[in-house]
Chain A
């Protein structure tokens, strides 16, 4: 598509993806890669490069608000970023050796899983008072503002969490996504960190993880300015708008509708991968 309509169409599509992505907590970037490849016929590698840049923008934009509200835990984030950045370089390096068809199938599977997760209610916090010596040494335990004052939490299973984060980083590097869902699973399920702290800390970490992969993709020539510009600006504007209405309207119906749409894209992606048309 060597035309005019391209940029003009791309911006509103990215805007909508950013808006819905932030409203539903799925993230705008993850939807864009399949939209770019399936609808706009963009090569998967260019799509991944443009999406990755958008992921950095939304993560950094949103994190600036969360950090101030006192939900995200800077120490947990920094410690786990050792795992996610190392994993990201590994994943991004791997991506340059894997065929785009295989990447598309993996992408579809991950997307399907995120859609399934986002349509379900977040699990109840299962906090435990057990002390993990490693968490003590690294001073990972913390507090967050609850309805009735500060709530204290103890971090568990630090080693398991670190291992899962290595995987989350690899997936993020491989597919150019934030892989927020897997990060939240590592913190919330394995490390027993309260859901609110897990999601905000995950968001805080996504930008750093994505920057690690972006270095590899930049040096491989995956990041095209003319594609990334409308995509990034659209997703950023959309997600900032989404974050504004998030506190007011957090409709369960919307989450389900969006999850179904994402699942549909995921299946298309897998089919395209098997057919070799990506």
Chain B
């Protein structure tokens, strides 16, 4: 695989990821409007989101239970996943180029991202 082809694939992935994530978020927003109107809670005091909105499993069960906030959150999770998918794709692309140094570098970045997403912090 050439660098140009890899660049093109990354470009397509990023665009598709953003479009799908934005579409899902918008759909969730419209659904929320239908359910509750335009009234939103107060954001001037920080409570922290409920545990359900902090992980993928909780979001899916929330959608199944008919909560529109969870569909919005799914869109936001997809958005966060887009650059991560880009890094994962780069691992394969560098492997196809037999560029071992960059396979290792990219795997390190991927590991840091996945650690962060799974709740790791210092």
Contacts and interface: CB of A to CB of B under 8 A. Distances in A.
Interface stretch (A3-11, A185-193, A243-251, A255-263): A3-11
B18 A57 contact: yes
B121 A92 contact: yes
Given A75-B102, A226-B41, A221 B54 contact: yes
A216 interface: yes
Contacts of B122: 89-90, 93-94
B29 A233 contact: yes
A212 B112 contact: yes
Contacts of B15: 60-61, 64
Interface stretch (A40-48, A149-157, A267-275): A40-48
Given A56-B82, A64-B11, A86 B112 contact: yes
A9 to B, nearest CB: 10
Interface residues of A, number: 68
A230 interface: yes
Interface string B1-34: 0011011101110110110011001101100100
Interface stretch (A65-73, A101-109, A116-124): A65-73
Contact of A212 (B7, B37, B69, B116): B116
A24 interface: no
A221 B53 contact: yes
A210 B112 contact: no
Contacts of B40: 2-3, 6-7, 226-227
Given A89-B121, A225-B69, A232-B25, A207 B116 contact: no
B80 A229 contact: no
Given A65-B11, A75-B102, A219-B121, A81 B6 contact: no
B42 A233 contact: no
A92 B6 CA distance: 31
Nearest to A43: B46
Contact of A68 (B7, B37, B47, B117): B7
Contact of A74 (B26, B46, B90): B90
Interface of A: 1-4, 6-8, 40-43, 45-46, 53, 56-57, 59-61, 63-65, 67-68, 70, 74-75, 78-79, 81-82, 85-86, 88-90, 92-94, 96, 137-139, 207-208, 210-216, 218-230, 232-233, 236
